[in-house]
Chains A and B, each alone.
Chain A
Amino acid sequence: MSDLTTFIGRVQIRNPLILAAGILGSTFSTLNRAYQEGFGAVVTKSVGRHPRDGHPNPSVVYIPETDSILNAVGLANPGCIEFGKELVKIHSDVKLIVSIFGSTAEDISSVIQCIENNIGNSKSVAFELNLSCPHVQKVGMLVGTDPKLVYDIVNQAKSITKTAIWIKLTPNVKDITIIGEAAIDAGADALVAINTLKAMLINVEARKPILANLRGGLSGRAIKPIGIRAIYDLYEKFGPKVPLIGVGGIWTWEDIVEYFLAGACSVQIGSVLSQYSSPQFIISELLTGLQKYLVQEGLSLHELRGLAHE
C-alpha cells in the first residue's frame, strides 16, 4: 500500500481528494457526510458578508454530450453570521476549508473574522478565497483578474489570521500565473486552479439562453485540459515550493495522475459526483486506482508531482 497522506504546505490530510467548493457543501450535514465517506478534506460553499438568494432557475444543468455542468447559482449563501453557526455543527475530526468570496479586501477580511468569531481559529484548516466575484469599483471585471487587488486581499487576509490562505484562481484571464504570482508575493499558502469557465447554452426551440442568469460557468470533463494547463503553467513558474491544488474535470484516477504530473500536490473534485448516487463510490474508485498505479510504478504521490516537466 502506498501512503496517500498529503501535505498542502502545513496542512496535512489523509488523502489527496478534496471536495470542491459549491458542490454539496452548503450545510453541516453534507460536509460531515462527505468527509465521513472518505474525502481527505472538504471545502464549503462560498460564503460572503451578507445573505444572497442567488439566481433564479435554471441555475444548474448537466450537459450529457460532454459530461459537463453549466451553473449560475450566483453565490447563494446565508451570510457569514448564519453560516458560522452552521459550521459549528461540523464534527471536530473533519478537515474543513471555508470558501469565502467578496468584492474588496475589507469584505473578505470581515468574513474571515466573522467565521473565526463563530467557530474559533482552529476548526478550519484553511480559508479558500474565491476571487470570481464581480469587482465593485470596476464594473464587469472580476476581482481575481486584477493582480493588485489580489495582492491587497491576500495581504490583508494574512495579517488577520494564522489559518492558511488558499487562493482559488479563475481561468478567465490571459495569463493565470500573473494572478498566482500576486497571491504568492502577498503570502498565500497555496493556489487552487481552476474555477469554472465563462459559458452559455441556448435552447434552440425557445431561442433563449437556458440559464436564468444567461451566462454561467462550465465545469466537468470538458474543462480538464484547461485545468491541466493552468497547473502546468503555475508549476513551471513556481516549481515545487508552492503547493498547487488541481481542480477541473477529474473523472478517473488517471485524471488525478495527470494533475500530479502537471505539478499538483492535491486535487479537488466536483462535477463527477453527479455520476454517483453517493460520494463514497467515486472516492473509493479513485483512491483504489491511484494506489494501484503508485504501487505498480514504485512511486510515492510526492515523487509523482511535476514529473511531466522533466
Chain B
Amino acid sequence: MNDILFNLPKCLTIRNKESHNEKTSTLTFSLPFEYSIRPGQYFMLWVPGVDEVPISVSGYHGTHISFTICDVGSASRSLNNKGHTELIGLRGPFGNGFEVEYGKNALIVAGGMGIAPLRFLIQCLTSNITSSQRIVLIQGAKTCNDLLFRSEFERLPIETNFCTEDGSYGFKGFASTKMDLLLGDLIQSDFNLEIFACGPEIFLKKVLYVAQKNKIEKNTQICLADRHIRCGFGICGSCFLDDIGLSLCRDGPVFRGSVLLEVTDFGQYGRKSNGLKYQFH
C-alpha cells in the first residue's frame, strides 16, 4: 500500500474538460504534487452520492492527470456531466501498469475505450523515442466518431492504422483483424517487438490468439477491464480471475499473454458484483 498516493478519496475539482463525442470526454485534474504513475494504472473515481468506478489514467504530465470516460451508466454519465466547480474523489493509483522498455519497437492494439490507458502509454513512449524505433498503432472503434484522439495520434511520430466496424474511416473491420494482417511483416522486420493491447475482453482474446499464432505471447501485455472492482488493493475478492486466482485490481490489470493463456475465463466469463458468472458477448 506504500505506493498508493490517495488511499482514501481525495476530492479535486475538474481543471479541464474535453468532449470527444456525445458519450465520451476527458477530464483533467491537478494533483497536489508530482507522483510516479505508470501507464495501465487506474484510479477509483468517486462521484459522491452516486458511485465510485475504476478509470484508467489516459494522460499524465507534470501534475496534470487525465481520465477518458465513456458514458455507459450512472457513474460514468455523472462524471461526464460534471462542471468545473464540482468535486470528484480520486483514490489510487492502483494496479501494476505496463512494463515499458524504452527504445524497443512497439505494436499498440486498441479496441474502443481500450485506447484510454494506451494513450498514456503512447505519450510515454513518444516522449523518449529514438530515431530507429518504430511505434505502430492499430486503433479500432465502431465508427469514425469513436476513434478517440485520432488527430492527436496523427501528429505524433508513430505509424497509425485506424479501423472502424462500419468502414466510416480507415480499414473496415476489427483492429485484431488488422493486427493479423500486419504482424507477420512486423515480426520479420523487427525482432525486438513488444505488443500492448487493451479493449473488451472478447476482442483481447482475438489479439492474444493472433499473438500466439506468431509465437509472441510472452511479449504481449494485455490490459483487462471487465471485472467488478471494489477495493482496488486485492483484498475483497471481487475481481479475481479463474483458475489461477490472480486479482485484476492489484496483480493486474496488465497481464502477459502467456499468463492469460492459463486464465480459463479469459474472453469468456466475467463476474457480476455478487460474484455470479456471466458470459461475454
Cβ contact within 8 Å between B235 and A51:
no
> How many Å lie between the Cα of A54 and that of B237 in the bound state?
13
Chain B interface size band reads 35 or more
Identify B274's interface contact among A58, A71, A78, A206, CB under 8 A: A78
A-B contact pairs, 9 of them (CB 8 A): A22-B237, A26-B240, A27-B245, A29-B243, A53-B274, A57-B52, A61-B91, A64-B7, A76-B274
Give B228-251 interface residues, CB cut-off 8 Å to A: 229-231, 233-238, 240-245, 250-251
Interface positions, chain A 212-243, Cβ under 8 Å from B, are: 212
CB neighbours (8 Å) of B8 from chain A are: 61-64, 201, 203, 210
Name the contact of B237 in the complex, choosing from A25, A82, A271, A274 (C-beta under 8 A).
A25
Would you call A33 an interface residue if the criterion is a C-beta within 8 Å of the partner chain's C-beta atoms? Answer: yes
Specify which chain B residues have a CB less than 8 angstroms from the CB of A60 in the assembled complex: 230-231, 235-236
Q: Identify B89's interface contact among A78, A203, A270, CB under 8 A.
A: A203
At the interface, yes or no: A105 with Cβ under 8 Å from chain B?
A: no
A77 with B275, Cβ < 8 A, contacts A23-B237, A206-B89 known: yes
Asked if B7 and A208 make an inter-chain contact with CB atoms under 8 angstroms apart, the answer reads no
**Does A198 count as interface, using CB distance less than 8 angstroms?**
no
Cβ contacts under 8 Å, B49 to chain A: 208
> B94 CB to closest chain A CB, in angstroms?
11
In contact, B242 and A29 (Cβ under 8 angstroms): yes
Q: In whole angstroms, what is the CA distance A22 to B87 when docked? A: 31
Q: List which B1-40 residues lie within 8 A (CB) of chain A.
A: 1, 4, 7-11
Chain A residues contacting B89 (CB-CB under 8 Å) are 58, 203, 206, 210
Interface residues of B (CB under 8 A from A): 1, 4, 7-11, 44, 46, 48-49, 51-53, 87, 89, 91, 229-231, 233-238, 240-245, 250-251, 271-276
Contacts of A205 on B, CB cut-off 8 Å? 10-11, 87
With beta carbons under 8 angstroms apart, the residue of A25, A33, A76, A210 that contacts B273 is A76
List, in ascending order, chain B residues with CB within 8 A of A201's CB.
Answer: 8
**In the docked arrangement, what's the CA distance between A212 and B273, Å?**
15
Cβ of A273 under 8 Å from chain B: yes
Name the A residues within 8 Å of B271 (CB-CB): 27
* In the complex, number of A-B residue pairs with CB atoms less than 8 Å apart: 142
The answer to whether A274 touches B51, judged by C-beta atoms less than 8 angstroms apart, is: no
Contact partners of A271 in chain B: CB under 8 A:
235
B242 & A206 in contact (Cβ 8 Å cutoff):
no
- Give the complex CA separation of A61 and B229 in angstroms: 12
Docked CA distance A30–B275 (Å): 13
Tell me, in angstroms, the Cα distance from A24 to B246 when the chains sit together. Answer: 10
**Bound-state Cα–Cα, A78 to B51, Å:** 21
Q: Within A12-50, which residues are at the interface with B (CB < 8 Å)?
A: 22-30, 32-34, 45
For B276, give its contact among A28, A32, A82, A203 (CB under 8 Å). A82
Q: Are B52 and A212 in contact, with the CB atoms below 8 A?
A: yes
B48 to chain A, nearest CB (A): 5
Interface centre among B87, B234, B251 (most CB of A within 10 A): B234
CB closest chain-A residue, reference B53: A57
Cβ–Cβ < 8 Å partners of B235 in chain A: 23-24, 60, 69, 270-271, 273-274
